[in-house]
Amino acid sequence: MKSIPPLLFALIALLMPGNFQAQENESNTPSNAKVLVFTHTLGFRHASIEKGVATLRELAEKEGMQITHTEDSLAFNPSNLSKYEVVVFLSTTGDVLGPAQEKAFQSYIQNGGSFMGIHAATDTEYGWPWYGGLVGAYFESHPDQQEARLQVTDRNHPATAGLEEPWSHFDEWYNFKDIQQDLHVLLMLDEGSYEGGSNGAYHPIAWYREYDGGRTFYTGLGHTDEAFEDPNFRKHLLGGLQYCLGSR
């Protein structure tokens, strides 16, 4: 009897039921990952916060993640934060954490925790430079809500893989100040496609980086309820969560 060529043998082994099942069950998201969604506001409160929380819950459930939502700053203590792989600031505004909570959150990131900021997360904690480094920039101003064109600058990231190119989207477009120098930019705003941009040719609107021991991801989209219904934005949010949970 002729022996099976090595390449054919490897192909047969790969297609055996056990191996096929293992491949089929592969996921980019760790099972039972726990995510804390924080929405406390001491400035402008976005009407889309509730829609955003519901969307994150829906995306998380499909991926086996567990979402906890809170408005309570006292949730930022070492014991509670240790339960979560990711902390999401969803359109927070103002000085939302006291000194003890800031210390606990900083320690959480330094010990390998992850942060995800959505929309007004950059309109938060202006007096805390460490947070400015974490989120990557601070909100400065915005024009009227309108449609704009986004340019994908990195397709090899979970938050941008599969997005339309170019991607036209209706939202409230932030102009930023104190933009950090070492951001890995994922999406750029084309200021020629809308009115009121002030950052010029370099206008990042979504980015990621490693910062002080942890991972951080930010997207400037998410002002309206309708934004959270956009399939592209939902892909973008899920990819941001996956990155924070270790996918790259």
The band of 28, judged by pLDDT with boundaries at 50, 70 and 90, is low
| CA dihedral over 167, 172, 175, 176, signed as positive or negative | negative
Give SS3 for 201. coil
Q: What is the bridge-based pairing of β-strands 114-118 and 214-219?
A: parallel
| Mean of the per-residue pLDDT values of the chain | 90
Give residue 166's pLDDT band: very low, low, confident or very high (50, 70, 90). Answer: confident
Instruction: Give residue 165's pLDDT.
Output: 82
Average pLDDT rounded to a whole number, residues 67-96: 98
pLDDT value for 20: 29
143 exposure class (CB count in 10 Å sphere: 0-12, 13-18, 19+): middle
**Average pLDDT of span 108-136:** 98
Query: What string of DSSP letters covers 130-163?
Result: HHHHHH--EEEE--S-EEEEEEES-SSSTTTTT-
When mean pLDDT is compared across 28-42, 67-81, 163-177, the lowest value belongs to: 28-42
pLDDT band at 30 (very low <50, low <70, confident <90, very high): low
Domain ranges of the chain: 27-244
CATH topology of domain 27-244: Rossmann fold (3.40.50)
% of the chain beyond a pLDDT of 90? 85
Cα 201 → chain centroid: 23
220 has a pLDDT exceeding 50: yes
Give the pTM.
0.88
- With residues binned 3-state (H G I as helix, E B as strand, rest as coil), the percentages for the chain, rounded to 5, are 35, 25, 40
Among the residue ranges 10-14, 106-110, 130-134, 136-140, the one predicted with the least confidence is 10-14
pLDDT of residue 9: 39
| Omega within 30 of 0 (cis) for the link into 30 | no
